[in-house]
Amino acid sequence: MGKGSNVQKAQQARERNQKKLGKSDEERKASLQKAKLDASAYMCKICRQTFMVNAKASLLYLHVTSKHDGTAPDACFDSLVGFDPNDPDGEKAAAAAKAAGPPKPKKVAKKKDDDLDALLSAGLGSKKK
Ligand SMILES: [Zn+2]
């Protein structure tokens, strides 16, 4: 008897806690739905195998080469359009963009210096006159 009522009490406590958390049945359904979508965010168009939302492009590419060797990567996954096997996760491209980024502002700064020099010499010149 005692055991049974304990279970009931625990159940009631759990229900109370869930109400405190403020999650309605609809919200729980929605998050479940989202979890389902996340679990099958990527689906191979050929064999319909699914991959988690956080799967890296390199993992998807591995699936292409191991299961469908000779197939274009974007024939399996839309997300692999323009995929570069030598730079699977876009890290090289990101590094290249980072490396190519800084010089531009430097050039602008240098040009300013040049202008300043020109202004200074022009100012000195006019002062002499
Ligand atoms: Zn496949």
Ligand 1 centre from 113 Cα, in Å?
Answer: 58
Domain segments of the chain as ranges:
1-39, 40-89, 92-129
> Cα separation of 26 and 70, whole Å?
45
| Token pair recorded at residue 79 | 């997300």
Give the type of residue at 122.
A
Nearest residue to 42 (alpha-carbon basis) of 17, 28, 14, 63: 63
Q: Which of the four pLDDT bands, split at 50, 70 and 90, describes residue 12?
A: confident
Q: Average per-residue pLDDT in the chain? A: 82
Q: How far is CA 108 from CA 28, 35, 99, 111, 116, in A?
A: 54, 48, 17, 5, 12
CA of 50 relative to ligand 1 center, distance in Å: 9
Task: Say how many Å lie between the CA of residue 71 and the centre of ligand 1.
Answer: 10
DSSP state, 43? E
Q: How far apart are the first and last CA of the chain?
A: 111
- Ligand 1: centre distance to CA 48 (Å): 6
Report whether pLDDT(74) > 90. yes
Q: What separation in Å is there between the alpha carbon of 66 and the centre of ligand 1?
A: 9
C-alpha 68 – ligand 1 centre gap (Å): 6
Query: pLDDT tens digits for 13-69?
Result: 888 776 666 788 999 999 999 999 999 999 999 999 999 999 999 999 999 999 999
Q: Measured in angstroms, how far is the CA atom of residue 34 from the centroid of ligand 1?
A: 23
